[in-house]
Amino acid sequence: MGLKSKDLVGIKALDAADIEQILDTAAGFKDVLGRDIKKVPALRGKTTVNLFYEPSTRTRTSFELAAKRLSTDVINFSVSTSSVVKGESLRDTALTIQALGADFIVVRHSCSGVAHFLADNLASSVLNAGDGTNEHPTQALLDLFTIREKKGVIRGLEVAIVGDILHSRVAKSNIYALKKMGAGVRLIGPPTLVPDVLKDLDVEIYSDMEKGLKDADIVMMLRIQVERQGKGFFPTTVEYFRNWGLTPERLARAKKSALVMHPGPMNRGVEIASDVADGMRSVILDQVTNGLAVRMAVLYLLAGVKE
């Protein structure tokens, strides 16, 4: 019992038992969230610092609320109003925050490997809230939690991940997690965004969405970053939607019981049609609620790791 590392840097470093333990613990927290009094005293006296070098509302808010519901004090360190603009290095900023007594540092950064770097350099627990194109472990954990909650199992399911896999840390964490838990993974998208080398991850690759979605149990859509338009990955967002947008007709290729997921924020009419996003099979808002329970579980379990 208990996690092995003081940090949650990525799914890659976890094994199936760790993932299972986090999901089981999150189930306990989910029922705390259903009560009138949603706060528990478990981590009273601890301090959580949100260190976000990239814009984020949902992940930051979710971590903040999760930390508060566990009774930790939360500080949101906003990079734009900090010494970072005066040229302070990442390491110095992090050491300063640690010296203030932070027990948990939640970090998001546009460079891959930042969470790993901080984890190695700090005694505080580091939680990766997204590093470059590397990993976004809590998103994958909340996705798995949602799948398990709705489907009962993860092993044996066919999960189709659609979109910009190449630049997506959400996709990467999900691929690692789903494979570790015994699910089949298919990646769907234009070859520029879903290159063949990804086959090394033991997944199937499709550029034809109709084929890729056939009999899938889960359809996981990724956000198409509009900034990528005009960089040679795909011609226009309109064309992207025509080929890889999730429409009700395309969704009909998947199993009748298939769930539609999206990590948010959604671009309606680019990667997903509104009818699908708001449809019966969408669990997009469940994902947000479950994110809170999963992040509470991770904070709680990391607090128990003694090194």
Partner 1 sequence: MAAFRIPKGIPVSKVLLNKEDIGRIITRMAHEIIEKNKGVSSLCLIGIQRGGVHLAGRLAARLEEIGRRNIPVGALDIALYRDDITVRKEQPVVRRTEVAFEINNEKVVLVDDVLFTGRSIRAAMDAVMDLGRPSAIQLAVLVDRGHRELPIKADFVGKNVPTSIDETVKVEFEEDGLEDRVVLEWV
The 252-281 site mask, x for binding partner 1 (CB under 8 A), equals: ------------------------------
Q: Pick from 16, 32, 79, 288: which binds partner 1 (CB under 8 A)?
A: 32
Residue with tokens 């799914």: 11
**By C-beta, is 72 or 267 nearer to partner 1?**
72
Q: In what order do the strands lie in the sheet with 125-131?
A: 73-78, 47-52, 104-109, 125-131
**By C-beta, is 147 or 293 nearer to partner 1?**
293
Cβ of residue 48: shortest distance to partner 1, in angstroms?
A: 15
Cβ–Cβ < 8 Å for 206, 188: yes
DSSP secondary structure string, 77-145? EEGGGSGGGGT--HHHHHHHHHHTT-SEEEEEESSTTHHHHHHHH-SSEEEEEEETTTB-HHHHHHHHH
The CA distances from residue 148 to 142, 151, 281, in Å, are 10, 5, 15
**By C-beta, is 28 or 269 nearer to partner 1?**
28
Does 84 bind partner 1 (CB under 8 A)? Our answer is: no
Cβ of residue 304: shortest distance to partner 1, in angstroms?
A: 3
Does 152 bind partner 1 (CB under 8 A)? Our answer is: no
Active site residues per annotation = 58-59, 86, 108, 136
Does 191 bind partner 1 (CB under 8 A)? Our answer is: no
Does 11 bind partner 1 (CB under 8 A)? Our answer is: no
> Which ranges of the chain would DSSP assign to H, the alpha helix?
16-33, 58-69, 90-99, 114-121, 137-151, 169-180, 209-213, 237-244, 248-251, 274-277, 284-303
Q: Pick from 40, 95, 111, 201: which binds partner 1 (CB under 8 A)?
A: 40
**By C-beta, is 31 or 196 nearer to partner 1?**
31
d(CA 257, CA 156): 15
Cβ of residue 37: shortest distance to partner 1, in angstroms?
A: 4
Residues of this chain that bind partner 1 (CB under 8 A): 1-2, 24-25, 27-29, 31-32, 35-37, 39-43, 45-46, 70, 297, 300-301, 303-304, 306
